[in-house]
């Protein structure tokens, strides 16, 4: 242990906004760029603490020399909560984060200035405001890990973040910030200049693409400064100007619609989180145990991303601490994923988590989204689905099918019951989900299965319908373990669970 490391005191650091920074994303590239930036900022705080001779308890890192950095440490999603053994001041953390963010901002700004021959005077004030006011740092300290965490949460209630003011038209992505262009500091708006700026930028950064179908930025997009930064950090020369290991060499955008043929495709988005991590950490009374726990989580995340990449089903946006986010989608050869493959993958995900021996259970929100559901809405659905999985008992998954009109059907179930979808057999011994779907609709129309708004709920017929198609053994288990499986002993919960299973199964598992 370093000499100046105070074993009687812990410091915990976090920063914000994180969720908002990720969610304001139109393209998968925005999500990935945001994740890279957040990881890099966390890393800057980590190496600042290590440079002072302090021990970083969590996140666990695989280096001994602060001058070293590995691509894996960035790509895997460094958590934005950092636990340090010893005194590391709020000012130290703020300086480290500010320095990292300045490197990101200046790399983007310098590249634009050099490649588009832009003079600073027309937008320097706007860039400076975003460089200064983009982040807020939170600090907590205590004699134990638990007291330091509690102090952090208390201090978070006293926000002091200043949002930059702006003039002019709002971005086409979020609508909340000003469009970035070379004369954005002035009160007037030159539409021709804005159009010319994005046209030149689109052509320079992706010269082989076609108009409004480019890898990085399209001519018709109008982005704010932070939105532009998230997009630019995925460009090789800019990423390497920040740090040589920041660049991810392979990237494939989500294929949701083929503009040439008009074909559209469903995509699967998943957000997972370990259950009761805070409670688990309270049981780990020494820093070595916390570090070991962090190492196990990050090792699982690295293996998870490696395996997912090999399968070629999409991309993991981040998988660092106890949470992860990713998307499943096809390619030009096989543009539409099979829903049954998705169910199999979800089961394998849970098995992988269990094999990691992490000591905590897993809750996941999975969204099967139509092609025109905005990405921001998809992310919100993911978050809501994950929260529902936790609310109904944890250690389960919520599958939500979101249609293009914004409506959705969903099913929340303990992980073992996912297998039951594969055990479906209809009346003639085949796998035609239309039969059970039709039977459900008729029984509901005739009030054989009462609506959940009824004063008196009888789930008998719903259970009989379930047993007819999934087997008497599973019907018996569902009836006997209703509270454990549905999250409630109430008949309404049983009907909602069966209804959700049939609707989701029909969407993802039907071969008719």
Structure confidence at residue 67 (pLDDT) = 44
b vs e for 6-27, b when ≥16 Cβ sit within 10 Å of the residue's Cβ?
Answer: eeebbbbbbbeebeebbbbbbb
| Segment (H or E) for 73 | helix 71-75
| DSSP type of residue 421 | G
> Picking from 48-57, 266-275, 311-320, which range would have the lowest pLDDT averaged per residue?
311-320
The whole-chain average pLDDT of the chain stands at: 89
Residue-level pLDDT at 200: 96
Query: In the prediction, which pLDDT does 261 show?
Result: 86
Residue 64, pLDDT score: 42
Confidence band, pLDDT 50/70/90 cuts, at residue 6: very low
Structure-token match 């009888």, residue found:
458
Q: Which two tokens stand for residue 86?
A: 């010893």
Question: How large is the average pLDDT for residues 100-118?
Answer: 96
Q: Do domains 10-242 and 252-412 have the same CATH topology?
A: yes
pTM of the model: 0.90
Could you write out the DSSP letters of every residue in 76-88? T---SEEEEES--
Domain ranges of the chain: 10-242, 252-412, 424-512
Return the closest-CA partner of residue 422 out of 497, 478, 338, 344.
344
Least confident of 69-83, 378-392, 461-475: 69-83
Between residues 431 and 492, the one the model is more confident about: 492
Determine which of 67-81, 215-229, 271-285 has the lowest per-residue pLDDT on average. Answer: 67-81
**pLDDT, tens only, 161-203:** 554 544 444 454 444 478 999 999 887 778 999 999 999 999 9
pLDDT of residue 87 exceeding 90, the answer is yes
DSSP string covering 182-212, please? TTTTSSS--HHHHHHHHHHHHHHH-TTSBTT
Predicted pLDDT at 79: 86
Question: How many CA atoms lie less than 13 Å away from 486 in the CB half-sphere?
Answer: 23
Give me the pLDDT at residue 27, please.
Answer: 87
Task: Give the pLDDT of residue 512.
Answer: 57
For residue 422, pLDDT beyond 80: yes
Does residue 209 register a pLDDT over 60? yes
Give CA separation, 183 vs 11, 23, 95, 192, 229, in Å. Answer: 43, 27, 30, 12, 17
Report pLDDT digits (tens) over 390-408. Answer: 999 999 999 999 999 999 9
Total length of the chain: 512
Confidence at residue 267, expressed as pLDDT on a 0 to 100 scale: 97
CATH code of the domain made up of 10-242:
3.30.70.2220
Q: What is the pLDDT of residue 355?
A: 94
CB count within 10 Å of CB 493 equals 20
Report the percent of the chain where pLDDT is more than 90: 69
The yes-or-no verdict on residue 269 having pLDDT over 90 is yes
What does CATH list as the number for 252-412?
A: 3.30.70.270
């Amino acid at each position: 242990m370093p000499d100046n490391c105070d074993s009687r005191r812990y410091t915990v650091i976090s920063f914000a906004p994180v969720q908002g920074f990720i969610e304001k994303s139109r393209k998968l590239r925005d999500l990935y760029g945001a994740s890279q930036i957040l990881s890099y900022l966390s890393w800057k705080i980590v190496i600042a603490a290590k440079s002072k001779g302090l021990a970083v308890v969590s996140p666990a890192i695989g280096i001994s020399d602060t001058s070293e950095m590995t691509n894996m440490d960035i790509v895997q999603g460094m958590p934005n909560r950092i636990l340090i053994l010893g005194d590391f001041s709020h000012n130290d953390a703020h300086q480290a984060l500010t320095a990292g963010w300045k490197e990101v901002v200046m790399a983007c700004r310098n590249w634009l200035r050099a490649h588009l021959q832009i003079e600073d005077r027309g937008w320097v004030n706007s860039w400076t405001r975003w460089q200064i006011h983009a982040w807020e740092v939170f600090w907590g300290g205590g004699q134990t890990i638990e007291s330091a965490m509690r102090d952090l949460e208390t201090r978070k209630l006293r926000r002091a973040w200043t949002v930059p003011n702006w003039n002019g038209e709002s971005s086409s992505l979020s609508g909340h910030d000003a469009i970035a262009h070379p004369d954005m500091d002035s009160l007037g708006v030159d539409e021709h200049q804005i159009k010319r700026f994005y046209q030149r930028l689109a052509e320079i950064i992706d010269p082989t693409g076609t108009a409004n179908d480019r890898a990085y930025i399209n001519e018709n997009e109008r982005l704010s400064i932070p939105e532009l930064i998230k997009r630019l950090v995925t460009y090789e020369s800019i990423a390497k100007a920040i740090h040589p290991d920041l660049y991810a060499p392979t990237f494939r955008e989500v294929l949701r619609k083929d503009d040439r043929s008009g074909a559209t495709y469903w995509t699967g988005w998943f957000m997972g989180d370990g259950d009761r991590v805070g409670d688990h950490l309270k049981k780990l009374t020494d820093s070595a145990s916390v570090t070991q726990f962090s190492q196990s989580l990050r090792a699982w995340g690295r293996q998870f991303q490696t395996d997912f990449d090999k399968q070629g089903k999409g991309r993991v946006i981040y998988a660092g601490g106890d949470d992860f986010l990713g998307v499943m989608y096809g390619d030009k050869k096989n543009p539409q994923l099979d829903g049954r493959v998705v169910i199999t993958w979800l089961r394998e995900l849970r098995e992988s988590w269990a094999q990691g021996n992490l000591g905590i259970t897993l809750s996941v929100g999975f969204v099967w989204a139509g092609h025109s559901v905005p990405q921001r809405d998809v992310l919100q659905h993911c978050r809501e689905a994950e929260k529902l999985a936790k609310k109904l008992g944890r250690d389960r998954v919520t599958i939500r099918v979101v249609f293009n009109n914004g409506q959705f059907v969903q099913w929340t179930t303990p992980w073992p019951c996912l297998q039951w979808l594969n055990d479906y057999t209809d009346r003639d011994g085949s796998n035609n989900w239309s039969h059970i779907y039709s039977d459900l609709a008729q029984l509901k129309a005739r009030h054989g299965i009462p609506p959940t708004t009824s004063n008196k709920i009888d789930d008998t017929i719903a259970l009989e319908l379930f047993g007819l198609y999934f087997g008497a053994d599973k019907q018996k288990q569902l009836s006997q373990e209703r509270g454990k499986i549905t999250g409630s002993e109430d008949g309404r919960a049983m009907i909602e669970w069966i209804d959700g299973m049939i609707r989701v199964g029909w969407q993802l598992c039907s071969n008719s």
